[in-house]
Structure 1
Amino acid sequence: MRVAVAPVLDDHIVGAVTQVGAQLVDIENAQVVVWIGGPEGFPELPDGVEWVALSTAGVERFVDAGVLDDKRIWTNASGFYADGCAEHALALLLAGTRQVIASTRTRWAKDAVDPAVRTLRGSTVAIIGAGGIGRALTPMLKACGATVLAVNRTGTPVAGSDVTLSAERTDEAFARADHVVLAAPDTPDTRHLINDRTLALLKPHSWVINVARGPLVDQTALYRALTDGVIAGAGLDVTDPEPPSPDDPLFDLDNVVITPHVANPAGRLTVEMAPHLADNLRRFAAGERLASVLAVGRGY
């Protein structure tokens, strides 16, 4: 098996390649290309490349750049970074419901903070786009005593969840949930999934957490809902645009926390990716189906 790692040689990725006994070669002689980076500078691929492994979970920029083709297998890193993203989603949700955010922005304002503290015990949390992140987040939420309502494209049951609904029943999920975690890809169907109408389906104590993609949220609508008391708060690790403007009004709200797209920190990307890549390389060598294969026509 001949594998090229580009545009840079990363120690963790090279280690995964050599671990499975593959030969490290240049792209011209490769069967497999592991691309660590974005679409900028992506090369013309020779016909001998049978599989391209991308290092990102989101592939919207590759789709927009016209990089993907139907001549070979393409995989992304969907699920590779799920544990860290799930931890971050839970941290944002707890920071909101336990009023950690409000407490850090005030000085011992017990009379204001105390009545707003809520628990996840007995609550229902809807995970929209319950793929790898959703599967990792589900047991964490269950450990906190929450009921998990998973939403995915087909309605195929998500292990550990209490209820799984198909994407066409997303409105039902919003209406039943106390809190919502967004973990869906950015597609035409999910753009502005959070909007004036869907926010109105939530409850005044609801928190909306986004560790997926910024365009899933209509931020103007979100601002209105936050300032009008339609929902209790929001935790955003991604925004639209990204980064947000320094004077974005969301920064000024006491019921919002924005982290700078660090649920999957860049410094750990190849560390987290390496074992999954090694497993996929073994599958490829054995002629087995690869994990995280892209449906090129759908863009994810």
Structure 2
Amino acid sequence: MSSLRVAVEPEHDPHVVGAVSDAGAELVPLDHAQILVWLGGPDGFPELPDSVEWVALSTAGIERFVDAGVLDDRRVWTNASGFYAQGCAEHALALLLAGTRQVVASARSRWAKDTVDPAVRTLRGATVVILGAGGIGRALTPMLAACGASVIAVNRSGRQVDGADLTLPASKTDEALTLADHVVLAAPDTAETRHVINDRTLALLKPHSWVVNVARGPLIDQEALYRALVGGVIAGAGLDVTDPEPPSLDDPLFSLDNVVITPHVANPAGRLTTEMAPFLAENLRRFAAGDDLISQVEVGRGY
């Protein structure tokens, strides 16, 4: 393991540097590295020397790197998909409960019991659809089950998600939505997932449904969402991401009592490298052993 040479850029983070040390690897300048751990965004991404065999990105969503043309097919790339799953799953559950238990409406009123009380719902016996049931979905499923909800997981392949009551391929998204009481979005932002929630798919939901997004803003057609919220097509929305992001201060969603918006904090920046470090150390061990890496990117797909 001591032969592994790792560069950490654009700055040395103590948690990441500690993970490199824990894995028995050597911290070196980029010019001498086999591995680059990149903690920044696509802006300022360096020209890579031929010696770099693997680039470890610190974000789960890498569409900005794809758009910037950073990825190539000359080396292995990994993202942080699944590294932050537990925290994002907690946040998704918090947003869903804030909506269904009418915490949002209560916080914006002064003891409006007559209007709030009839709208309170429970997750017990409810069906929650998770669109894009990868790492976040796998972490969220037992949390929802503990609340008494049934889970329908939707992923690209339709491969069974442990703990889910039903797993469907993405081609059957419409079928899943017709069965849903509530929907959680946890998918990557790709051409296939862009505006997966739109006027047509919102109409498949129920008037008591809440839509929660802890993934990427472009998964939702935000104008269609606004129409559904004011028109009573669905009950509400919990958003940790928006499109555009950040939203303008006069975005009409802020004016609605059935919407809660948090400022992209499901995976707070202050904990990013803390959460990433053990996964990085494991991937360094796997790289040294010639094993498959966690969260390896399919360059052609962009995730």
Tell me the TM-score normalised to structure 1 length.
1.00
Q: Determine if the alignment matches structure 1 residue 34 to structure 2 residue 37.
A: yes
Counterpart selection for 2:119 from 116, 120, 135 = 116
Aligned residues: 300
- Mapped to 2, the partners of 1:26 and 1:39 lie a distance apart of 19
Correspondence list, 1:100-179, <5 A: 100-179=103-182
- Mapped to 2, the partners of 1:72 and 1:163 lie a distance apart of 37
Equivalent residue, structure 1, for 2:224 = 221
- Mapped to 2, the partners of 1:242 and 1:4 lie a distance apart of 31
Equivalent residue, structure 1, for 2:64 = 61
- Mapped to 1, the partners of 2:40 and 2:133 lie a distance apart of 25
Q: Secondary structure at the match of 2:40?
A: coil
- Mapped to 2, the partners of 1:249 and 1:259 lie a distance apart of 15
Q: Determine if the alignment matches structure 1 residue 257 to structure 2 residue 260.
A: yes
CA displacement at 1:294 relative to structure 2: 0.3
CA displacement at 1:227 relative to structure 2: 0.2
Q: Secondary structure at the match of 2:151?
A: strand
Equivalent residue, structure 1, for 2:91 = 88
- Mapped to 2, the partners of 1:64 and 1:79 lie a distance apart of 22
- Mapped to 2, the partners of 1:70 and 1:209 lie a distance apart of 35
Q: Which amino acid aligns with 1:17?
A: V
- Mapped to 1, the partners of 2:253 and 2:240 lie a distance apart of 13
Tell me the TM-score normalised to structure 2 length.
0.99
Runs of 4+ in 1 over 2 A off after TM superposition: none
* 1:216-254 deviations in Å (ceiling 9; x for gaps): 000100000000000000000000000000000000000
Q: Secondary structure at the match of 2:271?
A: helix
Counterpart selection for 1:247 from 250, 266, 282 = 250
CA displacement at 1:166 relative to structure 2: 0.1
* 1:102-159 deviations in Å (ceiling 9; x for gaps): 0000000000000000000000000000000000000000000000000000000001
Q: Secondary structure at the match of 2:285?
A: helix
- Mapped to 2, the partners of 1:150 and 1:37 lie a distance apart of 32
- Mapped to 2, the partners of 1:217 and 1:31 lie a distance apart of 39
Counterpart selection for 1:49 from 39, 49, 52 = 52
- Mapped to 2, the partners of 1:299 and 1:289 lie a distance apart of 18
* 1:34-64 deviations in Å (ceiling 9; x for gaps): 0001001101111111100000000000000
Unaligned stretches of 5+ in structure 1? none
Instruction: Please give the root-mean-square deviation of Cα atoms over the aligned residues, in Å.
Output: 0.4
- Mapped to 2, the partners of 1:299 and 1:20 lie a distance apart of 28
* 1:187-219 deviations in Å (ceiling 9; x for gaps): 001001110000000000000000000000001
* 1:6-55 deviations in Å (ceiling 9; x for gaps): 00000000000001110000111101000001001101111111100000
* 1:50-80 deviations in Å (ceiling 9; x for gaps): 1000000000000000000000000000000
Aligned-pair identity (%): 79
Counterpart selection for 2:82 from 79, 82, 101 = 79
